[in-house]
Chain A
Amino acid sequence: MSEKEKSDSAMNQNRAEQNGVPASSTNGSNENGAKELKLDLTQQEKRSGVRAGDTYVRVVRPHRHLFQKVAPGVLRATEVAIEPETPGRQAFAKLRRILIGEPLPNAADSTERLTKTKALAIFASDAISSVAYATEEILVVLAFAGASGGLEYLSPIAVAIALLLATVAFSYRQTVFAYPNGGGSYVVSKENIGLVPGLVAASALLLDYVLTVSVSIAAGTAAITSAFQELQPYTVPIALSFIAIMVIGNLRGIRESGNIFAVPTYVFIAALSLLIGVGLWRLFMGLPPVESPTLHPVGNEPVTLWLLLTAFSAGSVAASGTEAIANGVPAFKQPESKNAARTLVVMAVVLMVFFLGISNLAHQYNIIPTHDETVVSQLARAVFGTNFIYYFIQFATMLILILAANTSFNGFPRLAWILAQDGFMPHQFAHRGDRLAYSNGILILGFLAGALIVLFQGVTVALIPLYAVGVFLAFTLSQIGMVRHWHRTRGPHWQRNAAINAFGAFLTLVALVIAATTKFERGAWIIIVAIPLLVGMFLLIHHHYKNVHEQLKINKAEAPAAALRQIVIVPIAEFNRASERALLFACGLGPQVNAVHVTEEPEQAKKLAQELAAFDPKIKLIVVETPYRAVLEPLLKYIDALHQQDPNAFVTVVVPEFLPAHWWQRFLHNGTAARLNRALKPHPNVAVVNVPYGLEH
């Protein structure tokens, strides 16, 4: 007896019972003849031992490799259970494992935490990398008034920016302790100022993260194509490959991406420490530069307040990325807040020392940036000459510029996750991938940054002015939020804490106003336009989710829903094994089964009526003749018309379907079942059930 025949005979036996014919009882069957199911997939086999009283029970769990039993009524899917079944999907899963590694269970979350060393590399690479260009940004502006003594203002401006950095970092240090679950600007602003300011901060940061990736990757690529000019035509593919590497590295999980990306950050720290240390020592000893910087012509514009403010605003890009640590506190090892705060302090100290060091050396060596050579490159030549150490510093700078994007790859998905959890971004962003990374956020960030690179053909320098506005807007809102937080909670030393944050808010607000006014024409307006659009989108998404929730919510005060009245319809072309099975299934759903036969041959309908009457006289048959030969449309119209007689009833359309043994055989059939399924899917009060019948060959 084949499997199919066995199954058919079991069904006939079932049916016989329903018709009042007793069925023979089988082991493990209930009084209806149906096999008693063990929902926890555990079976017990009683075994009698050799001696009386040695009876024991074998606990059989044949699917133990798929589902672990963790408590009564609770199973846990194992790694084997998530394996796909079809060869295509298996191959894709294999490829995914090669690229991003073995899937991690939720329990591994605590092991996927960062030490302070790795966290510094992951969260601080953006901030630290900015020392490679922040001084240059100031000098580019001051050079317009070089002949009027404008360059003399480099040091005061650098000190002012360092003060701003210290204040921002210290303020965020307070946030880290106040919001141990991750208190980025969004959370702090939303909780303390209001929803819209929170969303404004979130929009600003999301834009900043996307810009950071595209600009830093483009900058890193430019460093390579400058060194190897023959690669110039491949700028876009190279930049996209870097993004792909970043995406894959981050999809492997935060701990592993820390392993991958930590080394370049520390190499850069070592390289700049060497450059600043040796440079200062040479100045102290009164030694001349190894290679004197080329003298470049400078502008003779007057030194105005506007010029100084523009220079300040340009250099304040150094603060970008400072908030990443406050956003990612839960990613740290325990004690999270303490470790995050220490890392933040280390980051701020490194950033300030490097920024002041580079600015001071640039001032002492009279370095002016040019289109051909960066400030760091000129400094390295002046301190070491064009030798191995010079190339080492250049290589480390190139690496850190690319790696600055890594901070965004941690910041963006995490912020998108928080927004998705609050219902302001699509729920897909709340999903964590195989390696507990926020995969969708990582992929979208990679896609958006890649799109910008393609759009600007790898020349994203024009995007740099967009930075500071978003960053300082988020900083300011966050600091104001913290002031209100301290005022609201009134914990110990709240006045002191509030004063620190208020000072931070004042400084970042000043920086914001300067950045917005000085950079408005150079592109800052884009951010000012984009933020309200994003906020609007977030509110729209939230409105939708709220609506869905309201509609799905069960109101306990209301009377419980009555049982659904069912109209069971079985479209039937001919009486065969597939339709017989569908009719048997339909008989289990309701007392009245209605068979619908759409035909262009009335003779065939008569034969079918006889066959159905012989099978079960209780089944009603309605024949719909179709002289225009269309089958699907008349059937759909008939179902609609029938439903109109009792609109509150629920229509279940049971569709007989046979499954060909081979994939190519599908093309030899009409696929009416699938078409019917698709056509009926949008109807809210219609359920479509396909009853499959597998063909053997």
Chain B
Amino acid sequence: MDTKVKRILVPVEGVPTDNESIVLACSFAKRDKSDILLLYVIEVRRNLPIDAEMSKEIEHGEAVLEKVQRFADKIGCRVQTDLLQAREAGPAIVNEALERDAQLIVIGVPYYEKFGEYAVQPRAQYVLEHAGCRVILARDPLPQAQPALNGQ
């Protein structure tokens, strides 16, 4: 099985997990000399047209992309960036991976609990279920156990 990847897609959100997924993607990229595409998705509310002018969100998205791009530069990794507007991030990531011919999606996820149990975030869940390419999940470490109070 050929595991060589030409393009890696890394969705980012402006959270600390972004850096971990970029580091991971960079290690693959250096091995295979692949391109990295950092992707930020603006979710557009349904009461607005999909191509609505969302200056504030674009500004925030660009700031996030610039920050992660600087981080990537710092660790010696050349990346491209992409900004999307979509109703939901999950389908946009999957479709963009297809359009851009990405062979790998590296997606960072924070540790997330739903009803007291670990759950994959809906965005990552969708990508895991629907992406045509390989997906690597970079999950945050477990939150540290609360220290017992008064030695109990």
Contact = CB atoms under 8 A, between A and B. Distances in A.
A51 B129 CA distance: 14
Contacts of A68: 59, 62, 66
Nearest to B65: A64
Interface string A48-75: 0111011111110100100011111000
Given A57-B50, A57-B85, A58-B84, A69 B62 contact: yes
Interface string B81-106: 11111110001101110110000000
B55 A57 contact: no
Interface stretch (A39-47, A112-120, A391-399, A683-691): A39-47
B2 interface: no
B38 to A, nearest CB: 12
A569 to B, nearest CB: 43
B55 A72 contact: yes
Contacts of B96: 47, 56, 58
A491 to B, nearest CB: 43
Q: Give the one of A42, A59, A71 with max B CB within 10 A.
A: A59
A59 B91 contact: no
Contacts of A61: 62, 83
Given A49-B95, A54-B95, A59 B55 contact: no
Nearest to B63: A68
Contacts of A46: 50-51
A44 B95 contact: no
A69 B59 contact: yes
A54 B86 CA distance: 8
Contacts of B55: 69, 71-72
Contact of B50 (A42, A50, A55, A70): A55
Contacts, number: 64
A56 B83 contact: no
Contact residue range for chain B? 20 to 34
A72 B53 contact: yes
A423 to B, nearest CB: 36
Interface in B67-84: 81-84
B95 A56 contact: yes
B59 A71 contact: yes
Contact of B86 (A51, A56, A64, A72): A56
A70 to B, nearest CB: 6
Contacts of A42: 58
Contacts of B66: 68
A49 B51 contact: no
Nearest to A44: B51
Given A54-B95, A56-B92, A69-B55, A64 B84 contact: no
A49 B59 contact: no
B58 A56 contact: no
14 contacts: A44-B51, A46-B50, A47-B95, A49-B92, A50-B94, A54-B92, A56-B50, A56-B87, A56-B91, A57-B84, A57-B85, A58-B84, A68-B66, A72-B55
Given A54-B92, A61-B62, A64-B62, 9 more contacts: A47-B99, A49-B92, A49-B94, A54-B91, A56-B84, A58-B82, A68-B59, A69-B58, A69-B59
Interface of B: 41-42, 50-51, 53, 55, 58-59, 61-62, 66, 81-87, 91-92, 94-96, 98-99
Interface of A: 42, 44, 46-47, 49-51, 53-59, 61, 64, 68-72
